[in-house]
Amino acid sequence: MSKCIGCGILKQNSDQNKPGYVIKPENEYCLRCFKIKNYNELINQEINAEQFILKLKTLIQNERPKDIEFFYIIDIFDLEGSRVKEIEAAIKKYPVTIVVNKIDLLPKAVKLAKIRRYITDLFAKSDLFDANIILNTSFKNNFTNSLLNKIKKTKTKKYFIGSSNVGKSSIINSLLKANNLIPQIVESKYFNTTLDFIQIKLSSDDIIFDTPGIARSNSTANLLNKEDWKYIYFNKEVAQNTFQLKPGNTIFYAGIAWVDFEWIEEEINSFHFFNNKEVKLHRTNIKNAFDYYNRNKENIVPYNFNTKFIKREFIFNEKDINKEFEISISGLGWFNFKVKNSMKITINIPTDNVEVETTLRKPLV
């Protein structure tokens, strides 16, 4: 097939989720460019990190750092899982604004100042330690207007980058609506190339570049069929569930994964879970966990039908007593707790080929 005249990507009609998709081979624009040009709407498509880095380096190799600016989108619900360290290293020499998206998913009691401090600390030892930080949600105009004002301050080339399903498309769509002008794709900008970055005119003076989402390889989403991703990626405030657990208890995240809690004393401990409301949590005992998983597989939604497992263990000893911790599982959310005595927490994930990100961190909420 030929190339899209909007972004230059080689057209294909086999996968709608990949760049270059066209319904008919004779279409001049790929679906992503067509949606922007005709419907003022951006759709989400993805490529892998290696492809993205190669395209990015090709694009900026002759650009001066002062002429380029990056807006790096991360997901507050999946901070570690939505980061791409290789991308952070590739853009560190350029001005970067970290856009922390979906903050409306957090409980309303969480203060914005606390989120900002948390993100500042998170990136303090990273390649983006000196990046600007903007908190964002596409569902509130004041946040969109703040981002738009940031864009209009400089005349640099502004690239919006981020993992798939971090809400990048929603952000750009909200910017298009807030700008009150029909956006234009700069036609043939990358004709005869395969960069598939779309140049969009927000106005006569303000231009941004949309890029495909970078495929997440470390999320529990990769354990499920795409029709079940609604249980992983969502647009509602996180559910809060508190369990008073005894040693030997297990908490299931529907049929996706489960967590074992072990300690010697009979003392009860509180664990606070933050997760998608559509993913039902279930308590049982460690000795019954595997049997429960197999016995109820026809009724648990969503369910991961893998028969092989990996385990992630977190050990807490005397030095951790009275300290507060949080464990996040990419795509599922997180749970926090105070250590009362030495204990072991084991995350059981039914997979043998997906590297699900699990992180021990200080509490976000």
158-201 pLDDT tens trace: 999 999 889 888 888 888 888 776 556 554 444 344 457 888 88
Q: How far is residue 196's CA from residue 210's CA, in Å, rounded to a whole number?
A: 9
SS (H, E, C) 102-157: CHHHCCCCCCHHHHHHHHHHHCCCCCCCCCEEEECCCCCHHHHHHHHHHHHCCCCE
Stated pTM of the model: 0.88
Are residues 199 and 262 both part of a single domain?
Answer: no
* Whether 62 and 200 share a structural domain: yes
Query: pLDDT value at position 192?
Result: 41
**Has residue 243 been placed in a domain?**
yes
Lowest-confidence region among 44-53, 152-161, 271-280, 355-364: 44-53
Residues 50 and 171 in one domain: yes
* Same domain flag for 357 and 258: yes
The pLDDT, as a whole number, for residue 249 is 97
* Percent of the chain whose pLDDT exceeds 70: 96
- Examine the fold and report which residue of 166, 191, 214 is the final residue of a domain before the chain moves on: 214
Same domain, 209 and 251: no
Do the Cβ atoms of 200 and 106 come closer than 8 Å? no
CA distance 3 to 11: 5
Please indicate, yes or no, if residue 88 is contained in any of the structural domains: yes
Give the CATH number, domain containing residue 201: 3.40.50.300
CB contact burial 160-193 (16+ within 10 A = b; e otherwise): bbbbbbbbbbbbbbbbbeebeeebebeeebbeeb
**Are 207 and 240 members of one domain?**
no
Q: Which of 214, 245, 267 is the last residue of a domain?
A: 214
Collapsing DSSP to helix, strand or coil, 291 comes out as helix
Determine the average pLDDT of the residues in 36-58: 83
Residue 44 near residue 169 (C-beta atoms within 8 A): yes
Rounded to an integer, the average pLDDT of 63-78 is: 92
Same domain (yes/no): 51, 154: yes
Give yes or no for residue 133 having a pLDDT over 60. Answer: yes
| Whether 41 and 179 share a structural domain | yes
Region 240-255: what's the mean pLDDT? Answer: 95
pLDDT value, residue 49: 87
Q: Is residue 142 part of a domain?
A: yes
> How far apart, in whole angstroms, are the C-alpha atoms of residue 256 and residue 350?
7
Res. 42: pLDDT tops 80 = no
Statement to judge: residues 190 and 313 lie in one domain: no
Q: Residue 80 falls within a domain, yes or no?
A: yes
Q: Are residues 262 and 198 in the same domain?
A: no
Question: Looking at the structure, do residues 55 and 198 belong to the same domain, yes or no?
Answer: yes
In a domain, 273, yes or no: yes
121 falls within a domain: yes
Is 178 found in the same domain as 64? Answer: yes
Q: Which of 193, 214, 235 is the last residue of a domain?
A: 214
- Return the pLDDT at 188: 41
Residue 315 lies in a domain: yes
Could you tell me the residue range of the domain that residue 208 belongs to?
A: 31-214
Q: What is the pLDDT of residues 324-347, one digit of tens each?
A: 999 999 999 999 999 999 999 999
- Does the residue 189 lie in any domain? yes
Number of domains within the chain:
2
